[in-house]
Amino acid sequence: MYSSYIAGIGHFVPERVVTNFDLEKLMDTSDEWIYERTGIKERRWIVPCTETTTSMGIKAAKAALQDAGKSPDEIDFIVFATISPDYYFPGPGVGVQEALGISEIGALDVRNQCSGFIYALSVADQFIKTGMYKNILVIGAELQSHGLDKTTRGRNVSVIFGDGAGAVVLSAAKLNNSSQILSTHLHSQGSNAAELMVKDPGNLSKERFPIDFAEHEIPESYFPYMNGNLVFKHAVTRFQEVINEALSANNKSVSDLKLLVPHQANYRITQFVQRKFALSDAQVMSNIHRYGNTTAASIPIALSEAKQEGRIQRGDLVCLAAFGSGFTWASALIRW
């Protein structure tokens, strides 16, 4: 048996910064209103036609490979988490395989929204533990700015989301290696699936594929819907549960944590969880004020920045936690 550890990490965000003041020009909102409710001051949106979900994922993957000191031909498998693929199908994993010139390895796409990166990390961890693969690229990337309702109608949701990508190289090590993924914990509650969703295009819609939007207003069902109050109430509960689950499974306590890296959903959620666990600011990674909610990319971007800032060193105990659409929630406890 083997254990897996994060051998390298990297991220990419578009250069274009979209501030709350920029959004005031598009919809009836304000910097004060957005920041008070979300903690977001700005986000990154691509310049149209300059990037795709795949291209951003490739750039993050290259950064992770460089950090790990590995070449693309050492990668055995790819797991790509996103809710915003370039195509309805296929998923972007195969695009990464092609762009990196890796000959015919498997590529798996994961669609677990805000929990997607931890789900992808868990899948990769199991493949390595069984000895099937030695080096796996795990990517979380989102291009969400193209799919947002940037009018007053969609302001409650559209001000939250941003574009970007993060990636790690997960590698095999001997079971007693000091750096390793200690455990992962995955959950779902489908009864609340409709509380945070994009309904169309899907098999439940009257139109399987989009209508001619040149002649019709785009219907609300093609944009994200969120029952914000319900999502908040569930999120703060599930975050606590799944963090405690990870700590308990490894006989660790909150005091052992060097850093908590939560999904960057809403700064109010992060603050609530921080207070519940009595964590200091130094123990919680938050960058939502700069990037907004980048869904499956938010945890690897935040983790990559934490490493760049020197907030984690080899041997530190790090907890990743996420909650999102599905509802799904997940955690991973890592000895860095």
Look up 263 and say whether it is catalytic: yes
Six-digit token string for 36: 């008070």
Q: Are 332 and 299 in contact (CB under 8 A)?
A: no
- CA 95, 98, 103 angle in degrees (round to 5)? 135
For residues 173, 56, 120, 162, the Cα torsion angle rounded to the nearest 10 degrees is 130
For tokens 């550890």, name the residue: 5
Please state the three-class secondary structure of 252-317 as a single string. Answer: CCHHHCCEEEECCCCHHHHHHHHHHHCCCHHHECCCHHHHCECHHHHHHHHHHHHHHCCCCCCCCE
Catalytic residue (choose from 11, 114, 234, 266): 114
Active site residue 49: no
Q: Which long-range contacts (CB under 8 A, 24 or more apart) does 19-23 make?
A: 20/159, 23/150, 23/155, 23/158, 23/159
Task: Scan for tokens 């992808």, then name that residue.
Answer: 120
Angstrom distance (rounded) from CA 75 to CA 100: 10
- Tokens describing residue 322: 């996420």
Q: Are 334 and 315 in contact (CB under 8 A)?
A: no
DSSP single-letter state for residue 161: B
> Would you call 234 a catalytic residue per the annotation?
no
Distance of CA 230 to the CA centre of its chain: 21
> Choosing from 11, 185, 234, 263, which is the catalytic residue?
263
User: Residue 266: which residues within 8 A CB-CB, separation 6 or more?
Assistant: 37, 38, 39, 160, 232, 235, 288, 293
Retrieve residue 163's tokens: 């574009």
* C-alpha count within 13 angstroms, C-beta hemisphere, residue 111: 10
Dump strand ranges (E) for 41-195.
Answer: 42-44, 77-81, 106-110, 135-142, 164-174, 180-188
Return the active site residues: 114, 263, 293
